[in-house]
């Protein structure tokens, strides 16, 4: 197989992958190379992938050996309960709450039992404007905090819920949208709240970073709600500065994938599609646990 190469995207944050064809599958050496770059640089971009739904599903399932079954079953791709449809195409996404339900700063899988999770988005259709996914680098943002603030937050423990299940600390910006509608049936499928350190060392690299400081924290142990709300608003404002962010403008065939323990993200809002030029259609897979490529070689 062709040798894989990687080029920078935004300084040390992110790498574009060259020399792979997901349709052909990855051997153990390629998977090992990709995984090691992934955990070091936090996200990968793979362009020009002409793959079927089953080939994409196979790639996602191989990445960690287990994929997440989303509670929003109405968004499942027919025939694939671990692939969700994201975008502005179709009757469901005429509803703004579905179409822009991820248009707020958050971390995927923050309330899952294991926070080590990847998110993959495969682009089928891309609009000429808007619809970008914006990623924020939680490790570099933590590095730049004032020493006194680092000392203050180092021992803190936060409680996370599935976004929308409780009132979240830190508030919302005016542009952030309401969440995808949560029915009683959907809520029953949510994982229960979990406890996480506010500052988390990456499981593989050991590099510290803020963990999910927006979108899912509803309380901080030992801290009253008012103070916790002010603290999380301050951290959210810090980590979402443009210098820590990368906005990805999709092209059909792109696969964008990121590690959720060291990033936050949101999807820029779109209007419902009226023609092919403004269609946004992405397929999401969320592999759970550490990538198997770490031990593949």
Task: Check whether residue 148 and residue 215 sit in a common domain.
Answer: yes
d(CA 187, CA 179): 13
Same domain, 53 and 27: yes
131 and 142 assigned to the same domain: no
> pLDDT digit of tens for each residue in the chain (297 aa)?
568 999 999 999 999 999 999 999 999 999 999 999 999 999 999 999 999 999 999 999 999 999 998 878 899 999 999 999 999 999 999 999 899 989 999 999 998 889 999 999 999 999 998 999 999 999 999 999 999 999 999 999 999 987 767 889 999 899 998 766 666 666 676 778 899 999 999 999 999 999 999 999 999 999 999 999 999 999 999 999 999 999 999 999 999 999 999 999 999 999 999 999 999 999 999 999 999 987 655
Listed in sequence order, the residues at least 6 apart from 151 whose beta carbon sits closer than 8 Å to its beta carbon are none
The answer on 44 and 55 residing in a single domain is yes
Ramachandran area for residue 65 (φ above 0: left; ψ -120 to 50: alpha; else beta): left
> Is 98 among the domain residues?
no
The token pair at 7 is: 């080029």
Query: Domain span at residue 73?
Result: 5-90+116-135+250-295
β partners of residue 85 = 283
Residue 100 lies in a domain: no
- 0.85 exceeded by the pTM? yes
Nearest Cα residue to 285 out of 81, 104, 114: 81
Rounded to an integer, what is the distance from CA 158 to the centroid of its chain?
A: 19
Q: Are residues 122 and 43 in the same domain?
A: yes
Q: Is residue 109 part of a domain?
A: no
Assess whether 232 and 145 both reside in one domain. yes
**Shared-domain flag, residues 71 and 197:** no
Domain co-membership, 141 together with 128: no
**19 lies in the same domain as 123:** yes
CATH number of the domain bearing residue 280: 3.60.130.10
Final residue in a domain of this structure, among 213, 239, 265:
239
Using alpha carbons only, give the angle 285, 288, 291 rounded to the nearest 5 degrees. Answer: 100
220-233 pLDDT, tens per residue?
999 999 999 999 99
Residue 191 shares a structural domain with residue 56: no
Q: What's the pLDDT score for residue 180?
A: 64
Same domain, 19 and 131: yes
How many domains does one find in the chain? 2
Asked whether residue 106 is assigned to any structural domain, the reply reads no
Residues 127 and 141 in one domain: no
Q: Is residue 120 part of a domain?
A: yes
The token pair that represents 91 in the structure block = 């009757």
pLDDT the model gives residue 213? 96
Distance CA 282, CA 160 (A): 27
Between the alpha carbon of residue 48 and those of residues 13, 240, 267, the distances in Å are 21, 29, 21
> What is the token pair recorded at 71?
């509670």
């Amino acid at each position: 197989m062709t040798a894989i190469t990687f080029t920078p995207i935004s300084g040390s944050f992110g790498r574009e992958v060259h020399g792979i064809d997901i349709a052909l599958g990855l051997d153990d050496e390629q998977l090992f190379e990709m995984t090691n770059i992934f955990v070091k640089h936090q996200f990968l971009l793979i362009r020009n992938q002409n793959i079927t739904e089953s080939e994409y599903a196979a790639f996602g399932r191989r990445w960690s050996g287990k994929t997440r079954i989303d509670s929003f079953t109405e968004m499942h791709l027919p025939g694939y309960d671990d692939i969700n449809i994201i975008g502005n195409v179709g009757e469901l996404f005429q509803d703004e709450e579905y179409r822009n339900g991820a248009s707020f700063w958050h971390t995927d899988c923050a309330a899952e039992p294991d926070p080590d999770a990847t998110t993959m988005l495969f682009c089928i259709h891309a609009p000429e404007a808007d619809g970008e996914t914006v990623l924020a680098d939680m490790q570099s943002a933590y590095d730049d905090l004032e020493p006194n603030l680092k000392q203050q937050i180092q021992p803190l423990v936060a409680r996370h819920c599935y976004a929308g299940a409780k009132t979240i600390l830190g508030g919302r910006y005016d542009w952030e949208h309401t969440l995808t509608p949560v029915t009683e049936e959907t809520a029953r499928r949510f994982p229960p709240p979990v406890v996480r350190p506010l500052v988390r060392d990456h499981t593989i690299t050991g590099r510290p970073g803020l963990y999910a400081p927006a979108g899912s924290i509803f309380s901080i142990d030992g801290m009253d709600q008012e103070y916790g709300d002010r603290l999380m608003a301050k951290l959210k404002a810090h980590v979402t500065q443009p210098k820590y962010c990368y906005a990805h403008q999709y092209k059909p065939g792109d696969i964008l994938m990121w590690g959720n323990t060291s990033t936050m993200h949101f999807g820029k809002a779109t209007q419902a599609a009226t023609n092919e030029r403004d269609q946004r259609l992405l397929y999401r897979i969320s592999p759970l646990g550490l990538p198997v490529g770490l031990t593949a070689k």
